[in-house]
Amino acid sequence: MPAEQPLAGRCVLITGGAKRIGAATARALHAAGASIVVHYHRSAQAAQDLVAELLAARAGSAYAVAADLLDVGALPGLVQRALERYGRLDVLVNNASTFYPTPLGTITSAQFEDLVGTNLRAPLFLSQAAAPALRAAEGLIINMVDIHAQRPLKAHPVYSAAKAGLLMLTKSLARDLGPQIRVNGIAPGPVMWPERTMDETLKAEIIGKTALKRPGSPDDVARTALFFAVDAPYVTGQVIAVDGGRSI
């Protein structure tokens, strides 16, 4: 195996892998030799474009699969599609996330179901579905947490609570799935702004509160995922903040 291809022969399933942090993670793990299953829900064109890009670099090395993560019954099918395509599953990246404000007094049950379902329930049940294949491969689960799992974001109580649950789920799964499966998390800070319009003054204020006084990028998160997948065989149950020191 070439030194620059440490994940050659491995299969990685990334939820919400078509855009943003998910796409950056897909590119990084693919460059390390992995075959990538790109999950998407509404971003069909972005998923197909990313898969085409990866296939152009290495034939047969990427595949797109659609699923609604709020449909728990559909989650085992994602794992099955990966196994049918590549015969194994080595890494599951629970990256997909829903994010929007829910000020107290305006929260609806539909918003609660959406935010908790995407950010906590789906990672749990997808990890459960993937566990047999990951156990056979002595694999890895990476959960995309958030620095706001530990320091709540104003007007986002449901999102913050869901990510706090995901942080504890990461630690719980690491304990329950060891020794065959490692489970770790990444907590991004200001590495990518929300897709909705955001005030430039607020962005500057957030950056000013980091120790490094600059924003990060999706590639910073992707490199951390690569570290877990390649260089951290004795690390499990840990969540690394990739936030420029925002959380200290």
Instruction: Supply the residues annotated as catalytic.
Output: 159
* Rounded to 5°, angle at Cα 21 from 17 and 25: 70
Task: Look at residues 88, 111, 89 and name the one whose alpha carbon lies nearest to residue 101.
Answer: 111
Task: Find where tokens 């179901």 sit.
Answer: 113
Kindly report the CA angle at 35 between 227 and 9, in degrees rounded to 5?
80
In sign, the C-alpha dihedral spanning 147, 149, 154, 159 is: positive
Based on its alpha-carbon atoms, the radius of gyration of the chain, rounded to whole angstroms, reads 17
| Backbone φ, ψ for residue 155 (5° rounding) | 70, 15
- Pair of tokens at residue 133: 């294949």
